[in-house]
Each structure stands twice: as C-alpha cells, then as structure tokens.
Amino acid sequence: MGQPFVFPHGVTVYDPQKCWNGYTIVPLINDGVLLFDMNGNEVRRWNMHAMPPKLLPGGYVMGLSGYRHPDYGMQDGVNLIEIDYDGNIVWEFDRFEHINDPGRDHRWMARQHHDYQREGNPVGYYVPGMDAKPLEGNTLILVHQTIKNPAISDKKLLDDAMIEVDWEGNILWKWSISEHFDELGFDEAAKNVLARDPNMRSSDGGVGDYLHVNCMSYLGPNKWHEQGDMRFKPDNIIFDCREANILAILDKESGKIVWKIGPDFNATPELRKLGWIIGQHHFHMIPKGLPGEGNLMVFDNGGWGGYGVPNPGSRNGSKNALRDYSRVLEFNPITLEVVWKLTPKELNHAIPTDASKFYSPYVSSAQRLPNGNTLVTEGSDGRIIEVTADHEIVWEWISPYYTHNETSPKNNMIYRGYRYPYSYVPQEPTPEEIAIPRIDNTTFRMPNAGAFGAKTVIDVEGSLPYYQDVALCVATDDEEDLSLREKVFSVDTEVFDPVNGMAEWNDKVLKQQEKPVLVLFGAERCVHCKALHPVLEEALQEEFANSFLIRYVDVDANKDIVAACHVQGIPVVAVYRNGEELRRFHGEHDYDDVCDFLDAVFA
C-alpha cells in the first residue's frame, strides 16, 4: 500500500485510562537512543548505538558504542556497554574476539548483535519483581563468529553464538548454533539450497548469514517447569532463526535443542493450524507475573524467509516462504493453540486487500504489559502501538527521526521499543498524562486545502443503493472462509445421523457391515445443499426405505474427514460398504437422478 506524502509523527492517539503508562525507549535509525513519555515529550536522547536499548532501574541504559566497519562486519557491535543517566560508562564488554581488519578496525570486539539479557530479568522488558541488576550480575550476549563448515556450505559463514559473561568480563559459557545444525530439522531440499546460497551478504568479501538469530532470552520461572516439563527449565534459552523460519528452545546445561517448531509448518496438523511463521522477531516466553504467563509470543513478520523447494515466488528455493502482512501471536507451547493474536483483520483491515496496513517485513517486537495490553513495534515504518486484549489501539507513536542520507531512500525504522515504569528514572518528575483523542482523518485538512463535502450533490434517476459487502476483484479471507456464511436451512438429524470427528467416522461409517452407508457431505449455509436435502430425504424414505444407514458430515466442522475423503465442493453424496467407497455424486440432482444413483448401488 502506498504511504501518504503527509502524515503526523510523534504520539497520535493516547488514552491514559486504558494504557499502561510509563517511559518508552527506542533506538533511532541515525540519532542514538531516545527516551520519551506517553505524550511523546522527549525526555533524554543519548548519542550512542543500541540493538536494542534497555532501561535498568536507576536510569541506567544498555547499548553499544558502534559497529565494525561494514567492509568486514555485518551488524557486529564493537562492544556492549551500560551508561548511567548522564552518559557515563559504568560497564563494558568487548573481549570476545580480537579484530584486525586491513585498513579498518584493529581492536577487541564483542561482535554483539540483536539481543542480550542482564541477570535478574529473563526477557529485557519490565516484569514486576524481576528487575535487571544495574551494577552487578552476569550478562547473556548474542554474538557473531565467522566460520568455515563444509558440512553446511563451502562458503564462509556468519555463525551465531551465545556467551554468558560475568561483571568482570570473563566468559563463563558459550554455545554455537553451527554445532547443532543437525538438530534444526532441515530436509534435503533445504540443505541443498542453503549449501548453494546461505543468504550471502557482501561484508567480509562475501559471508553467508545463513540463520540470522535475532533474539535470545531466558525462559525464567514458569508453570510448565513447575509441572515437571524439563524442556522449560528457567535457565533454558529461547531464540529464533529469522532466515530459516525456526523457533526453538535450548537446554543451557546440555546444549541440546529440546523444543522446536519450523522450518516446515506443514509437518503436523497443529503446525498447519498455527500457520507459517515467516521471518519472525522477538520470540520469547511471557514471564511469570504478567498476563499470559507461560505462553510464547512472537512478532511473525511475514515477508520472506526459509529454504526449500523452488516455487513461483522463489526461483532457487531461497526465501521460499512468502506472506505480505504481519501477525503477533501468543500461543501455548504444549498444544500450539493460539491464545491471542493481532493481524490486519483484528485492526479492521481486510486480508489480503488491505493486509499491508499491518506489515513490517523486518525488525519489530511485541511486549506484554502488566495490565494485559501489548506494546507492538511495527518497526519498518517506525510505528509503535499499544493494543488492548480486545485489539483497540489506545496509544500510537510514529518516529520523526529518519536516516540522514541525501541520495538513498529515507527510513525511520525502529528495531525494538520497550515500555518501563516511571520509577525506573528517579532523576525525572512523573510526567503529566494528557489524553490525545483520535482525529477524524476524513475531515482533517492541511491549511488552504478544500473542506470535506461536495458543493452540490445530484441524485441520478435509477441509481441503486450501495451494498454493505461490495464484491472486490480479489477474494478476502473472510469471503474464502465459507463457514462464516449465514445458515440457510436445517439438516433433518432424525434422518441424517451427524458424524463428528474421525472416531465417529470409523464407527458410524467404515466399520458398518449390515447395510451400505450413505453419507451427505454438506453445510447448512449452502444453498445447493438446501435444494438437494428434501429430494434426497424423500428418495431415502419412500423408494429406498430401510435400504441404507444414513449419515451427515458437516464439512465446516469436520475438516479432517473432508480431507481424508477428498471432498471438494458441496453437496457430495457418497455410499460406503465394508469400509470402501462404492460411488459418489456432486451437486444438485432431481428425484429421478437420485433414485438412479441409489439403484446402482444394488446393481
């Protein structure tokens, strides 16, 4: 969708009564780290870098000094630092790898990227009773290392590793994902594509950013571990691989991956129902003490990601999963059932026709707030929204900070924003909270622009009224979901015995031997089923009384039976004997045709 040339920036909507009020901290694309209040008043800006910035109690901020030169580095942070409120460095780590780049950098570097966690808080955002330690404790850091591994590819690879360091900078623990490549679940097609093109980037003479791990956090205390499931030990680490569409949990003690979904989201019925998660960011477990605790949350970007069989959107099988809108998903890690979601549809945008109105194909995040709201960074357009459980946007901020370049496209990207309580910054007075009501976009005009409404309106004779649901050139997903259509008749269940689920299908249809079993596959929202139903019922009760066991399958409620029987389009009438299908017909038929069909069963 095209972006308007003129639109507001800063806070555009604010309902103090419905928001979880506090300070928001964001990394700006070219202007450091910004802290601002609920009305968008900019409290302090630090000229530093961050991926992402995190606010600690006492006004301390974590981030980094900058990045390795792009001739050799791809998002390699030179260090990880913590500053006090006045910008003084109180902690620094950089001694992961000594770098000697000809003509460029010669120094120790952390090669930090995308995420880190300070002891005391598992996820980096505010959790009641779980404050990160500002002046002590260990730090978990996501880092890069450059490797050669012929078992993965003959290309040079940018590998993702995790390290834990103490306050003095000693490395206490390290885990490298390349050492667990065989646990990631790639099929042979994906391995072949990845080997040929491991997402090659231009830095360092060409290096394959083959997985692109972009988040990493502890699980923290959780109900699953308390119930005895050792996959969810509090010290276990949850992460995702953006380029491979993989979401996983590793056992910190053994190093093994103990929970994983992806890269194939067609692998099980539960994954198919969850839907393809593509190019995701900020995958984490909602910490104990917040609404939804124990569920998993992810910003499912869409866009492109994955390796596999080529398709029309991917000629060579790289980035072979595609979707042009984003989702925020909260789901149960055991059943994979979605508990809460935010998609274009929840924001009143039709899919696919207006789906790109909620779409960030890279960066972005989702933070669960203590009042049950969710802070969503739709990062590619510099937008952050606070959304209630009922999907009402009660706060919105658009970044007014853009890239400084004069020749390339301008960008106001926000990698990840966080909300923290006012008490985290005791140096500042508690801000005043002033509501910002939503404006009417249809009547808002720039100075000197014409007002809304035509000077004269002419009624043209014979013009019909507009219908509420106008057919579009492209079917929306609601239109495709026929199960949502209004009921037009009722199946006579005294005659057509309903079958629900595969167990009943086996018992009521496949295992029956005394008579042939006639099954009507249909739905009460189907006008063709409505037309066939009385004709079929009359034939079965008059001409063929007691000749068949008669069943009905609601196709909207029994997708598994429909798939197993290859039913496409309704109505379908099929006859089974001794577990085998004898014959079927599709669509409306008159009385004579139905009788001829039933006669043929006994021929």
Residue-level pLDDT at 479: 62
The DSSP output letter for 449 is P
The yes-or-no verdict on residue 478 having pLDDT over 80 is: no
List, for residues 339-350, the tens digit of each pLDDT value: 999 999 999 998
pLDDT attached to residue 1: 55
Query: Could you tell me the residue ranges of all domains in the chain?
Result: 10-307+318-424, 497-600
pLDDT band at 483 (very low <50, low <70, confident <90, very high): low
Model confidence band, residue 486 (pLDDT cutoffs 50, 70, 90)? confident
Give 436's DSSP letter: B
Average confidence (pLDDT) over 185-203: 97
Q: How far apart are CA 367 and CA 238, in angstroms?
A: 15
Kindly give, in sequence order, each residue whose CB lies less than 8 Å from that of residue 132, ignoring residues fewer than 6 positions away: 54, 56, 57, 117, 118, 119, 120, 121, 124
- Beta strand pairing status for 549-554 and 517-522? parallel
Name the residue among 127, 83, 135 with its Cα closest to residue 418. 127
- Total length of the chain: 603
Note the pTM of the prediction, 2 decimals.
Answer: 0.84
Q: pLDDT grade, residue 468 (50/70/90)?
A: low
Cβ distance 25 to 61 under 8 Å? yes
Q: Round the average pLDDT of the chain to a whole number and report it.
A: 96
Question: 59-86, pLDDT tens digit by residue?
Answer: 999 999 999 999 999 999 999 999 999 9
Q: Are 21 and 433 in contact (CB under 8 A)?
A: yes
Task: Give SS3 for 395.
Answer: strand
Structure token pair of residue 366: 């989702």
Torsion of CA 307, 177, 332, 389, to 10 degrees: -80
pLDDT at 100: 96
For residue range 360-377, what is the model confidence (pLDDT) as tens digits? 999 999 999 999 999 999
Tokens of 574: 């099929």
CATH number listed for the domain at residues 10-307+318-424: 2.120.10
User: At residue 4, does pLDDT exceed 70?
Assistant: yes
- pLDDT confidence of residue 482: 64
Q: Which residue, among 292, 290, 367, has the nearest Cα to 328 in the 3D structure?
A: 367
Strand, helix or coil for residue 319: strand
Choice among 224-238, 293-307, 399-413 with the minimum mean pLDDT: 399-413
Q: In degrees, to the nearest 5, what angle opens at C-alpha 420 toward C-alphas 94 and 32?
A: 45
User: In this prediction, what percent of the chain has a pLDDT beyond 90?
Assistant: 93
Write the pLDDT tens digit of every residue in 510-521: 999 999 999 999
Inter-residue long-range contacts of 153-156, CB under 8 Å, 24+ positions, other chains counted:
153/194, 153/195, 153/196, 153/198, 153/208, 153/210, 154/195, 155/198, 155/200, 155/206, 155/207, 155/208, 156/204, 156/205, 156/206, 156/207, 156/208
Give the class (CATH, top level) of 497-600. Answer: alpha beta
In this model, does residue 594 exceed pLDDT 70? yes
Whether residue 426 contacts residue 58, with contact meaning beta carbons closer than 8 Å, is answered with: yes
546's CB contacts (< 8 A; 6+ apart) are none
Q: What angle do CA 314, 315, 320 make, to 5 degrees?
A: 25
Q: Compute the distance between CA of residue 92 and CA of residue 77 in angstroms, rounded to an integer.
A: 12
Note whether 533 and 581 are within 8 A (CB): no
Query: Using CA atoms, how far apart are residues 385 and 374, in angstroms rounded to an integer?
Result: 8
CA distance 10 to 40: 6
Cα–Cα dist 185/59, whole Å: 43
pLDDT for 539: 97
* Torsional sign, CA 15, 21, 22, 28: negative
Task: Give the DSSP letter of residue 545.
Answer: T
